[in-house]
Amino acid sequence: VALITGSDSGIGRAIAEAFAKEGADVIITYHSDKESAQKVEKRLKRENVKTALYQLDVSDETSVRQVFNSAHKLFGKIDILVSNAGVNGSNIPVMEMETDTFDKCIKTNLYGTFFCCRQFIQLKKKKLAGAKIIIVSSIHEEVCNPGNADYNASKGGIRNFSKSLALELAAKGVCVNNIAPGMILTPMNQEAMD
């Protein structure tokens, strides 16, 4: 059973489809585009796997707790977490960036990763061995660009969070991986690609 945040589009959708093709039951989450999430669910059902669909705001720890607990109750377990949901950078120089703008990116990308991983680990408790956590970051965890200090900082934080989590959980038999893709044509990157 795999729970994939932000699986209504882009990289998250592709990951959900790949897991379903391998026979995994998939918990699909979306922030606001329910219609796209329903289309993903319809595609996954063709693979004869169980699915569930939840609205999730990863920046809100109450939302994370409720969705994870509900999904865990429905499936009886969650074996794999793919922490993928995120927002793009503001493209605003630091000198002009409002605190709310910085907060939104950090809360979604970095805190969202923390909230989801913590809830997953707490649900697994003593049955951690064999669990998998895959955290999707970005090439911008290493390669920074001007005007996106909010995004670059969030992704750099995710890289070090992932390393720390891997060290904490290795002895318990949990595999933690951080994936940092480069530019991929997704709805979030369409304008930049154009």
Query: Which are the catalytic amino acids?
Result: 151
The residues, ordered by sequence, that sit 6+ positions from 99 with a Cβ below 8 Å of its Cβ are none
**DSSP class of 189:** G
Integer Cα distance of 13 and 9 in angstroms:
5
CA torsion through residues 185, 189, 193, 194, sign: positive
Give the neighbor-by-neighbor strand order of the sheet with 175-179.
51-55, 26-30, 2-4, 80-83, 132-136, 175-179
